């Protein structure tokens, strides 16, 4: 009888140990998250709906789709570290403009994708893009790229960018400056703008109005 009890105990212990180490009976207990800055760890875990799920019912595509429902997430990869631990590598979406016009209201990311959403947490941190033509979104992103490449953001930040069919490109900065670029030779005019800003800084002058609409000519008013 004792031998039977002992055998039963050994068998039971074997089942417990086997079950503990078998993926069929393992739950996701630990989630490591990398790459998130704007989105909190708690928000990602809650959205994924993966914590405490049996590894046997693990559906990677579904969990990834759950996470990507968050507007701020551009891509996500999921990796199994162990039977109870996974790792989420997050790539957040980079938004460039808060689009706010009569026709469009939403967010524009660096890839030119427009989202009909105005997240409060971003709205006040992004420059406003005002245009009635969706085809002008690419032009707005080009201007932002040229400004970055020309290091113009060391002199000011964009407050609002208006692309108008008649006046052309109008820029308003966080320092209260107005810059008119017109429609043509934008790259050349941005180089000219950088020269004006460098010269103004060297001479301790603050330009408040810069008109570069006419090629080869610049009208600059300074705050004396």
CB 121 within 8 A of CB 37: no
Per-domain residue ranges of the chain: 2-92, 95-223
Cα 215 to chain centroid, rounded:
35
| Arithmetic mean of pLDDT, 113-131 | 80
pLDDT in tens, 184-212: 899 999 999 999 999 999 999 999 999 99
Torsion angles phi and psi, residue 178, rounded to 5: -115, 130
78 neighbors 60 (Cβ within 8 angstroms): yes
- Give per-residue pLDDT as tens, 132-159: 999 999 999 999 999 999 999 999 999 9
Q: What is the pLDDT of residue 18?
A: 46
Q: In this model, does residue 179 exceed pLDDT 60?
A: yes
Mean pLDDT over the full length of the chain? 83
Scan for tokens 């209260």, then name that residue.
176
pTM of the complete model: 0.76
Closest among 121, 62, 108, 68 to 90, alpha carbons compared: 68
Q: What is the CATH number of domain 95-223?
A: 3.40.50.11690
pLDDT of 5 reads 53
pLDDT reported for residue 157: 92
Residues 90 and 34: beta-carbon distance below 8 Å:
yes
Q: Is the pLDDT of residue 15 over 50?
A: no
Q: Which CATH architecture is the domain 2-92 placed in?
A: Roll (3.10)
């Amino acid at each position: 009888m004792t031998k039977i009890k002992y055998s039963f105990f050994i068998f039971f212990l074997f089942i417990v140990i086997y079950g503990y180490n078998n993926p069929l009976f393992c739950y996701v207990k630990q989630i490591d998250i990398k790459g998130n800055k704007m989105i909190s760890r708690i928000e990602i875990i809650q959205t994924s709906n993966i914590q405490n799920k049996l590894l046997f019912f693990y559906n990677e595509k579904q969990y990834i789709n759950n996470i990507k429902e968050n507007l701020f997430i551009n891509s996500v990869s999921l990796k199994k570290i162990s039977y109870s631990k996974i790792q989420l590598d997050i790539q957040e979406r980079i938004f460039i403009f808060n689009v706010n016009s009569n026709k469009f209201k939403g967010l524009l990311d660096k890839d030119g994708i427009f989202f009909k959403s105005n997240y409060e947490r971003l709205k006040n941190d992004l420059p406003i893009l005002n245009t009635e033509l969706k085809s002008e979104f690419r032009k707005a992103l080009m201007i932002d790229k040229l400004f970055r490449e020309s290091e113009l953001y060391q002199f000011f930040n964009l407050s609002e960018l208006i692309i108008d069919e008649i006046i052309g490109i109008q820029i308003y900065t966080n320092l209260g400056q107005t810059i008119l670029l017109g429609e043509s030779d934008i790259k050349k005019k941005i180089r000219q703008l950088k020269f004006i800003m460098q010269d103004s800084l060297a001479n301790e002058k603050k330009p408040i109005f810069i008109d570069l609409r006419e090629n080869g000519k610049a009208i600059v008013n300074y705050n004396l």
